[in-house]
Chain A
Amino acid sequence: QVQLVQSGGEVKKPGASVRVSCKASGYTFTSYGISWVRQAPGQGPEWVGWINTFNGDTNYAQKNQDRVTMTTDTSTRTAYMDLRSLTSDDTAVYYCARAAFPYHMDVWGKGTTVTVSS
């Protein structure tokens, strides 16, 4: 079945960087993009960005576009999200989701908790 398996939770200090991975299985990886969505405690989801897994093109939300980088490794069917210069505002559960288009997220990973604390 279609599945997205994310990396484990992370605890980071302010100013550090974090990498979250998302390994896909059960479908042709390059036929769908990957959207990344985060959800701060008690808040609604916030779209972070999208990567076209076929050609590597990316679209990032304006809010964090200077601090985020999304990449993929098609040989291992894995997508990555790097977020730099972390602050406490980045504390959230980060989800990857299969997305043929950035707005159409039909299968979600279980989420990775990123905690930023001094």
Chain B
Amino acid sequence: QSALTQPASVSGSPGQSITISCTGTSGDVGSYNLVSWYQQHPGKVPKLMIYEANKRPSGISTRFSGSKSGNTASLTISGLQAEDEAHYYCCSYVAGTTLVLFGGGTKVTVL
């Protein structure tokens, strides 16, 4: 299977909202609400930000929200802050041998 498709980069000014898309197929994102989003700062461990498309783990800021429509999932960061500058990866369940696919990642830059 191919990786999920994300834009290479997204930028915004402090306080703005940005949205990162994650496009898959009817075999993965489109068929299941089992999309997760991970934040990774340089040299750090990935951190779960959103699971099951729109749920936030305990301790994750409400500024982060997720949604899904058809074959595309989205992560929205509202009230952008300097600490949000990182790479973000989407991840989806996919039926078959390889159960999990990641996106190629999106670098978020806070201007």
Contacts and interface: CB of A to CB of B under 8 A. Distances in A.
Interface string B15-49: 00000000000000000001010100000011110
Nearest to B92: A103
Which range contains the number of B residues in contact with the other chain?
20 to 34
B91 A103 contact: yes
Contact of A105 (B36, B96, B103): B36
Contacts of B51: 104, 106
A61 to B, nearest CB: 4
A62 B98 contact: yes
A106 B45 contact: no
A59 interface: yes
A59 B100 CA distance: 10
Contacts of A111: 45
A110 interface: yes
Contacts, number: 68
B62 interface: no
Nearest to A47: B100
A35 B45 CA distance: 14
B64 interface: no
Nearest to A99: B100
Contact of B36 (A44, A65, A95, A103): A103
A34 B77 CA distance: 29
Given A50-B99, A61-B98, A102-B100, A44 B93 contact: no
A46 B102 contact: yes
Interface string B95-107: 0111111111100
Nearest to A46: B102
B83 to A, nearest CB: 19
Contacts of B105: 44
Interface of A: 35, 37, 44-47, 50, 59-63, 65, 95, 101-106, 108-111
Interface of B: 3, 34, 36, 38, 45-48, 51-52, 57, 87, 89, 91-93, 96-105
5 contacts: A35-B100, A45-B102, A95-B46, A104-B48, A105-B46
